[in-house]
Amino acid sequence: MKNSKKFTNAIVRVPASNMIEGITTSLEGQPDHDLALLQHQSYVEALKRCGLDVAILDPLEDYPDSVFVEDVAICTSKCAVITNPGADSRNAETAFIEPALSAAFSNIEHIKEPGTLDGGDIMMVGDHFFIGLSARTNRAGAEELIRILSTYGYSVSIIEIEGLLHLKTGIAYLEDNIMLMHENLADHPEFASYTKIIVPPEEEYAANAIRVNDFVLFPSGYPVTAEKLRRTGLKLIELPMSEFRKLDGGLSCLSLRW
């Protein structure tokens, strides 16, 4: 594979013991914290296998969704952006990520009111960023991020989404011009030039995967999509995600990567 971004670092946060109080629309039942801890350890091991240096932050017991660190910041090769999460119960999580990012980034920017923005709505494709407008990310937040990213020389497109928690609930950029996506995003003109791998409706959760250097981290239990990815030559590390799925969370949500 060529033309892939090289990642060296990740930040994760251990699941809080009150994660059963996290926001969810899932009908799959309450997460089991012990099993979530095991699944989280497997995720960390997978990131290390991909060559990343992984910083593991302590659980935040006041924030049941805080394991989903992706939503509180955006990491680029030139700056980190602290977001302003759109869910009230998650908004203050940002204060607990900034110290960890300050050690790694000399340029730290912030999304401010009236803008709201979740990192799960931001998809990086080389020097271009797609911003999903969702129930969490409003237009003011998107415009603020455009202003910030433009000053660093990045380009941006806005994607209006429906029926998804976040943009990356329905689409993942797997490098090498490959986009994994839900069928209803396939005709979007912004994605016309990419090689598209469509996730079948019965495997929709599998659209949230992440390319990390030589591997794609992929949720276990989605064989049709897994086979499609393998046929393109991608190497998968399949990971159990059942307990995070119960909180509407996917593989990308569990880390910040740069």
Name the site residues for ligand GLY (rule: CB under 6 A): 22-24, 65, 68, 71, 87, 90, 247-249
Q: Alpha-carbon torsion 206, 213, 173, 92, what sign?
A: positive
Min dist CB 125 to ligand GLY, Å, is 23
Going by the DSSP 8-state scheme, the letter that residue 126 receives in this structure is T
Min dist CB 193 to ligand GLY, Å, is 31
Residues 67 and 250: beta-carbon distance below 8 Å = no
Q: How far apart are CA 96 and CA 20, in angstroms?
A: 20
Min dist CB 7 to ligand GLY, Å, is 23
Q: How far apart are CA 27 and CA 23, in angstroms?
A: 12
Residues 249 and 219: beta-carbon distance below 8 Å = no
Cβ-proximal residue to ligand GLY, closest one:
23
Peptide bond into 219 cis (omega under 30): no
If the CB atoms of residues 15 and 197 are measured against ligand GLY, the closer one turns out to be 15
Min dist CB 64 to ligand GLY, Å, is 8
If the CB atoms of residues 87 and 108 are measured against ligand GLY, the closer one turns out to be 87
Min dist CB 89 to ligand GLY, Å, is 9
Q: How far apart are the first and last CA of the chain?
A: 19
If the CB atoms of residues 70 and 109 are measured against ligand GLY, the closer one turns out to be 70
253 is catalytic: yes
Give the helix/strand (H/E) hosting 243.
helix 242-245
If the CB atoms of residues 243 and 248 are measured against ligand GLY, the closer one turns out to be 248
182 is catalytic: no
Tell me whether residue 163 is exposed, middle or buried, using C-beta atoms within 10 angstroms of its C-beta: 0 to 12, 13 to 18, 19 or more.
exposed
Question: Which of 50, 79, 166, 182 is flagged as catalytic?
Answer: 166
Q: How far apart are CA 15 and CA 100, in angstroms?
A: 17
If the CB atoms of residues 22 and 115 are measured against ligand GLY, the closer one turns out to be 22
- Positions annotated as catalytic residues are 166, 253
